[in-house]
Amino acid sequence: MNDQVRQLQPAALWNNFADLNAVPRPSKKEQRVIAFAKAFGESLGLPTSVDEAGNVIIKKKATPGMEDRQPIVLQSHLDMVHQKNSDTVFDFDTQGIEMYVDGDWVKAKGTTLGADNGIGVATIMSLLASTDIPHPAIEALFTIDEETGMTGALSLKGGLLDGRILLNLDTEEDNELTIGCAGGIDLTANGTYEQVAPKGNTAFKLSVKGLKGGHSGVEIQLGRANANKLMNRTLLNLSKDFAIEIASIDGGSLRNAIPRESLALIVCDEQKATKLKEAVTTLEGVLQKEYGTTDPNLKLSIENAELPGKVMDAAFQQKLLRCVYACPNGIYRMSPEIEGLVQTSNNVARVLVNDGAYNIQCLTRSSVDTEKGDLADAISSTFELMGAAVTTGGAYPGWEPRPDAPIVKIMSDLYQELFHTQANVDAIHAGLECGILGTNYPGMQMISFGPNIFGAHSPDERVQVSSVQKFWSYLLETLKRIPVKAN
């Protein structure tokens, strides 16, 4: 299937993408892709280094006639989100992504594709290897762990880069020029609880499946269902009417992905089993009606299961369900200054309750740091009411827009010239590394752009072939327009 991708144009870019996607590269486990990028730079005879964090920097001199231009930094991240459908048999630690071409789109077989941000990485690789593309001096910066903490960008020291213009290739709509983004913070609630023998004698497995999921930043405004919240809603309703006992809950996976699936093991009295199943069917209809537009394949199902030996203590069960119910999810506040921009949000990303311990994970985002902290405090307070130990970490700053930066005018004017329409110059409600990188490189002009990548952070992820071609031509022309160095 990957051979289909290698036949696409521009050939160098797609071949580099196929090579990259053959390398397992989950966040926090980037050793193999770091070695891959380092070997690539060295194979070209270019100065290549790996910093203490694992970021890879490859430098290339300007082509003849471009030596007087300002040096630029081309930046993308090496890691990718690993998500798969529950019925897909795939080992992300050992297998390369299985890609195929579907019309004007490249997709993956039941998994995330890695176009976020693999297309950006492959693009930079193509420029580094080129012999006939005019460009100023290039510093390729391949960061690690962007998806689960941005620790690569946070650890990048000042003084390693000379470029004064940074082109980040991590935007996912080809008519967008991104000049600002939200910051984020990870919040985790942990604790233990008493287990007791079940009073009921019949067990069932509940499942929420078929949700769209997606990127918890740029797609949070779409109002898609969150599997953790739907499961919690289901369990609280059933506990009121059927006195169910919960043995375990397992929902969601990554903080930056809207949860698509959740499973729970419950116990009830056998005499209530028929009515319980009917109630689940009724609630499924309610949820399908509420989310028919955003999540048309939503399924809430119940099936018989083996009776567990232990369930949650009843008092803890009620605290847990009510605290998860109360936890904010989705949009918290829209920007009062930028029309259509989500300012602050939260994603209830992971709920794992089993064998006497629980772990609840959220990702809180905001373009206003004080509001991000305020929402994190509200969420912390909610879970502290149930006795949880709440910790925060992985905080990263937002990227303050600089619409007057010269590179913004250069690229917006060029977009109009090439495509006869205006680009959307805006900020996004997602994490980009630009704000972090700017802390150690103050004054560096920054802008982010890229091709159409839809469904990122989910198995529906796909990248548009024609849009990649548009993005490639736009980038090549941009390189020609980089201004000369200041005297």
156 secondary structure, DSSP code: P
80 secondary structure, DSSP code: B
Contact (CB, 8 A) for 29 and 93: yes
Residues 68 and 62: their CA atoms lie apart, in Å, by 9
Helix pair 115-129, 31-43: axis angle to 10 deg: 20
Please give the distance of CA 226 from its chain centroid, rounded to a whole number.
Answer: 15
Structure tokens at 89: 């048999």
Residues 86 and 96: their CA atoms lie apart, in Å, by 18
Task: Clarify whether 413 is annotated catalytic.
Answer: no
> In which residue are the tokens 């897909």 written?
88
Task: Clarify whether 146 is annotated catalytic.
Answer: yes
Residues 411 and 420: their CA atoms lie apart, in Å, by 13
Please give the distance of CA 268 from its chain centroid, rounded to a whole number.
Answer: 38
Structure tokens at 321: 């369900």
Q: How many CA atoms, within 13 angstroms, populate the side-chain half-sphere of residue 296? A: 1
Residues 6+ apart with CB under 8 A from 18: 2, 5, 6, 99
Choose, from 79, 116, 170, 219, the residue flagged as catalytic.
Answer: 79
Q: What is the DSSP annotation of 193-223?
A: --EE--S-SEEEEEEEE-----BTTTTGGG-
Choose, from 116, 145, 146, 460, the residue flagged as catalytic.
Answer: 146
Residues 305 and 79: their CA atoms lie apart, in Å, by 38
Residues 312 and 191: their CA atoms lie apart, in Å, by 13
Contact (CB, 8 A) for 12 and 18: no
What is the set of active-site residues?
79, 146
